[in-house]
């Protein structure tokens, strides 16, 4: 079992529910088929995503993700073996970094989430704490 954590710059000029729904719909279909679980965090500036599963399944998934023109400057910050999944119940859940109180910790001077100053473990912990605090379906 492996866990990959990356962040990227969002290139959607007006990122909204439609754009996020389109990403989640395709992610859930593909990830369920490949035994991948995880979580996507987003705001107007950045995406951060955690992918969990077999090494080969994560690599295949990430190959597609990194080619996607909806984001750029895709930076892997962690890809390591883990003993278990954290997001067992979700082929792909999500959290909007600017939507909830715990996320204020992430807010920088420009009002957005800036993952560049965070380690892979810190991003993973932030995404997990937001997802569990928000009780996403």
Q: Which residues bind ligand FAD (CB under 6 A)?
A: 22-23, 26-27, 30-31, 40, 47, 49, 61, 64-65, 68-71, 92
CB nearer to ligand FAD: give 27 or 103: 27
Buried residues in 48-68 as b, exposed as e (16+ CB within 10 A): bbbbbbeeebbeebbeebeee
Of the two residues 16 and 101, which places its CB atom closer to ligand FAD in the complex?
Answer: 16
Beta-strand pair 37-42/93-96: parallel
Contact assessment for residue 50 and residue 86, using Cβ atoms and an 8 Å cutoff = yes
Output 61 or 86, the one with its CB closest to ligand FAD. Answer: 61
Minimum distance between the CB of residue 25 and ligand FAD, rounded to whole angstroms?
7
């Amino acid at each position: 079992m492996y866990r990959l954590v990356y962040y990227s710059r969002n290139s959607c000029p007006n990122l909204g529910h439609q754009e996020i729904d389109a990403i989640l719909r395709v992610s859930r279909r593909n990830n369920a088929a490949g035994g991948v679980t995880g979580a996507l965090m987003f705001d107007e500036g950045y995406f951060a995503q955690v992918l969990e599963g077999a090494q080969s399944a994560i690599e295949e998934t990430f190959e597609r993700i990194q080619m996607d023109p909806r984001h750029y400057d895709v930076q892997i910050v962690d890809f390591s073996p883990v003993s278990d999944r954290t997001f067992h119940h979700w082929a792909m859940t999500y959290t909007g970094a600017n939507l909830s109180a715990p996320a204020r910790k992430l807010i920088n001077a420009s009002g957005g989430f800036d993952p560049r100053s965070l380690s892979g473990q810190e991003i993973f912990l932030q995404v997990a704490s937001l997802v569990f605090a928000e009780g996403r379906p």
